[in-house]
Structure 1
Amino acid sequence: MIEIACDESGADGENLVGGNTLFFAHGSVDVSVEFAGSVISEIRERIRSPAEEYKANHLLREKHRAVLEWLLGALRGRAHVELVRKESFLVGRVVEVLGGEGAPSGEGVPEEVWGAFVRAGNRLLRVRAEVDSGVLVEEFFGSLDALRSAVAGTEAGEMLARLSGRRERAFAYRASIPTLIPVLDPLFPTIVDTAAHWSSPGTPVHLVHDRQTLLTPARVEWIRQRAEARGVTLAGLRLVQARSDPRVQLADFLAGIARKIAGDEATGVGDPVLGELLRPYLEAGALRGDGARKG
């Protein structure tokens, strides 16, 4: 059995647009408690902050750049990050709920048109609604029609045209919204992806995860079943306080670092050196956001 420690960064629950972060990151490490402890001690020795608990933002300060680069070298081959671009995840879920294929992007679309579409999609799929379902559905399909007009004559336009007749699916979704695993929360499927990354034939994976109130026994069982469906034997998922396990602290560092580097790159202020140091921890293309979700 292999034991993997993990933690997340950038969680906003079902709020995938207009939040504080563009990306959700789930970091994981395959190291011993002793190795993790030595790395944490080295970071403390180098940074010398009086803070009781260090977080990724300590390492992301310019004055600690050398420590950040050292850490990204020290964990190479021993760690991984699942990186989810929230907007891409949202659009994929909208298309999935409506029974479509593919996913449109905002490239070349007026910002106000695209923004209205993703905001309406987010409101449509949220578990809790502040207005009547009929209002949400009409709002969404109005934004979809505006987007169709903006990309008329393209492949995306044809795909959106097929979605435009799916009001009954939208109403059916609102009538029986899944609450055990909200479709807009990337945490649960991303934990499955993390287990799948570390899985190998005949070797069960046991996860040690930072304590999350969202990870109820029923949801952990859903994660186990979904992992099993992908050929992964998830031997267990143990919740701990991050401060009690240096491996989880390292996963927390890595997730926060990855989320910040990816966000900078996506907004055009990326650091090429840090981008290259991060890439070995990601799936191909994930730093650009085009490989952020496998399903």
Structure 2
Amino acid sequence: MSCDVLEIACDESGAEGENLIGAINAVFAHAGVRFGVAEAAERVREIRARAPSPVQEYKAGHILREKNRATLEWVLGPSGPLEGHAHVHLTEKRYFAVSRLAGLLLDDPDPGMFLDERARDLATALYLEGGPAFGAGAWESFLRAFNAAVRVNNGRNAEASVDALFALAAELRPAAPGGRMGAVADLLRAARPNVERLRALHLADPAMPPALDPLLPAIAYAVARWGEGAAPVLVVHDRQTALTDERVDRVAKAVPAVAATARMAGLRLAASHADPRVQLADLLAGAARRIAQDELAGRGDRRLTELLRPYVDRASVWGDPRSRALLHPDP
């Protein structure tokens, strides 16, 4: 590992591309670890010794089995193999989708990877108040239609998806007239030009990061987390078709928006079965997604949540205030 570059290995759990509303997994987790290859291999061997498996590639699913509960607690605990060498960025998919919607409502046809404070405030209001104001069923239908209309490849006629979205927008009426959600309803009905412009931008530039995929922003957050005030960060990442050279370049250019002094040196794809560092990142990402998802659903495991908490990125994209207070290192 060059002294001029800080190298981290990353993997994710819960990825479903741009499918956010009604997705199988409510949480996307992206983990980064900093180890040399030999050191990582030794730590994987130690985990295997505690929770044996004959498979070549050791995955999070092995330590998430109930019979391996003690190993999971050790892996996440202060005497475990990850302490001081790992972090995980969590994305609550529903809130991420609503944040993309908020950016479009504020007259920005391309809100980019990160939102300004005004858009974040609107996203929080939409997340917390949308269902109560418009009715849970109507709001859910609208968000599903928004997801379909903005996805780059949604398998449907794009114009039909946009038509369906704004037919639903026309029907949204807040239970209490006036107020913030009344103004939001007006913004929703007027947002068609921004949605159409966003789709046109993606058609004109295939290298543009998909608006609803949390992977690329998560990589930028990882670089910001490890690289602020340090050497440029080289990311070794499990193979992902979304990580084209052009998109990685966009991520690198976006990093200073998160951490002014952080820089991305590049990204190299690796086969996870051949790189023990990526396997360790997979273990943390998979465990974090399961623990955070259970906490979001109200069935959290207090002990596991406490063990995960020190690893969680303060910049995680999370809307639910109750579970955020439990998962976040700085509530």
Tell me the TM-score normalized by structure 1: 0.89
Tell me the matched-pair count. Answer: 292
2:105 is the counterpart of 1:98: yes
Percent identical residues: 44
For residues 147 and 244 of structure 2, the distance between their equivalents in structure 1, rounded to whole angstroms, comes to 24
Structure with bigger RCO (C-alpha 8 Å, 6+ apart): 1
**Partner in structure 1 of residue 21 of structure 2:** 17
Tell me which moved more, 129-138 or 185-194. Answer: 129-138
Aligned equivalents of 1:286 and 1:226: distance in 2? Answer: 16
Number of the residue aligned with 1:76: 83
Does 2:235 match 1:207?
yes
- Paired with 1:287 and 1:94, the residues of 2 have a C-alpha distance of 14
Give the match for residue 197 of structure 1: 225
Which residue number corresponds to residue 179 of structure 1?
206
- The residue identity in structure 2 corresponding to 1:108 is P
Q: Distance in 2 between matches of 1:133 and 1:6?
A: 34
Change (3 A) 1:164 1:112: same
Residues 222-231 or 144-153, more deviating: 144-153
Amino acid at match of 1:262: A
Secondary structure at 2:213 match in 1: coil
1:119 counterpart = 2:123: no
Take 1:167 and 1:48, find their aligned partners in 2: how far apart are those partners?
Answer: 54
Distance change (3 Å), C-alpha of 1:121 and 1:235:
same
Q: Give TM-score, length-normalised by structure 2.
A: 0.80
Structure 1 residues 144, 152: closer, same or farther in 2, change over 3 A? farther
Counterpart Cα distance in 1 of 2:230 and 2:253: 17
Separation in structure 2 between the aligned mates of residue 207 and residue 149 of structure 1, nearest angstrom: 46
Could you tell me how far 1:174 is from its partner in structure 2?
3.2
Does residue 65 (structure 1) correspond to residue 69 (structure 2)? The answer is yes
Deviation at 1:55, TM superposition (A): 1.0
Match of 2:110 in 1: none
Code of the residue aligned with 1:10 in structure 2: it is G
Establish whether residue 86 from structure 1 lines up as the match of residue 111 from structure 2: no
Change (3 A) 1:280 1:147: farther
Secondary structure in 1 matching 2:174: helix
**Aligned partner of 1:8: which letter?**
E
When residues 225 and 165 of structure 1 are mapped into structure 2, their CA distance, relative to the original with a 3 A threshold, is same
Q: CA RMSD in A?
A: 2.4
Structure 2 gaps, min length 5: 108-118
Pick one of 1, 8, 12 that aligns with 1:4: 8
Task: Provide the rounded CA distance (Å) in 2 between the counterparts of 1:184 and 1:288.
Answer: 15
AA partner of residue 179 (structure 1): P
* Residue identity in the other structure for 1:98: L
Asked if structure 2 preserves the Cα contact closer than 8 Å seen for 1:207 and 1:238, the reply is yes
Equivalent-residue separation in structure 2 for 1:221 and 1:89 (angstroms): 22
**Partners of 1:262 and 1:288 within 8 A in 2:** no
CA distance in 2 between partners of 1:8 and 1:87 (Å) = 18
Deviation at 1:9, TM superposition (A): 0.9
Uncovered stretches (5+) of structure 1, i.e. residues with no partner? none
Mapping of residues 1-295 of structure 1, within 5 Å: 1-73=5-77, 74=80, 75-99=82-106, 101=119, 102-103=122-123, 104-105=126-127, 106=130, 108=132, 110-150=135-175, 152-177=177-202, 179-180=206-207, 181-228=209-256, 230=258, 231=260, 232-284=262-314, 286=316, 289-290=319-320
Does structure 2 retain, via aligned residues, the 8 Å contact 1:127–1:179?
no
Contact preservation (8 Å) 2:105, 2:187? no
Amino acid corresponding to residue 282 of structure 1 in structure 2: V
| SS of match in other structure, 2:7 | strand
Shift of 1:273: 0.6
Equivalent position SS for 2:237: strand
Structure 1 residue 147, shift from structure 2 partner: 4.2
Distance in 2 (CA, whole Å) between partners of 1:26 and 1:64 is: 22
- The answer as to whether partners of 2:13 and 2:30 remain within 8 angstroms in 1 is yes
Aligned equivalent of 2:115: none
CA distance in 2, matches of 1:286, 1:205: 19
Q: How far, CA to CA, are the matches of 2:244 and 2:136 in structure 1?
A: 38
